[in-house]
Amino acid sequence: MTASPLTLVCSHCLAVNRVPANRIHDRPICGKCQTTLLPTAPVALTDQSFGKFVSRSDVPVLVDFWASWCGPCRMMAPAFAEAAAELSPQFILAKLDTDAAPQTASQFSLSGIPTIILFQRGNEFARQAGAMNTDQIVQWARSSAPRL
């Protein structure tokens, strides 16, 4: 019995792609624009891209809600980038600038930033407020991941 294909949304063109589950470690690329579908660096999301990207991806998406004026957010950015490389392809890490994407940010009743939220097919699965280092982000993501 073969596993069902995974649905992945391209972070560049937002095309929806289907990838055989057993090929997830083969660095799949978008059929439309040839961008890697499972990046090893955080993806920048906007009000326009957030909904489709997070809701259509079968791979859990971990989003860092941040702002450029936030000192702890800036301090956590390198750790989040390192975590993206370590967690790929089991997770896709993304960033949402709360000032540049106020519509999306307001949907989540954030008590502070940075806040990371783990989504599975558009549903919030877990959240954590406050700056973390790379090891803390990786450990939190793996312990919070949905069990499929």
pLDDT single digits (tens) 31-65: 999 999 999 999 999 999 999 999 999 999 999 99
3 falls in which pLDDT band (50, 70, 90)?
Answer: confident
Compute how many other C-beta atoms are within 10 angstroms of the C-beta atom of residue 57: 24
Q: Region of 2 please: left (phi>0), alpha (psi -120 to 50) or beta.
A: beta
Please say whether the beta carbons of 70 and 114 come within 8 A: yes
The residues pairing with 9 across neighbouring beta strands, listed in sequence order, are 16
Put simply, whether the predicted model's pTM sits higher than 0.75 gets the answer yes
Residue 30 annotated in active site: no
Residue 70 annotated in active site: yes
Element (H, E) at 17: strand 16-19
**Cis-peptide into 5, omega within 30 deg:** no
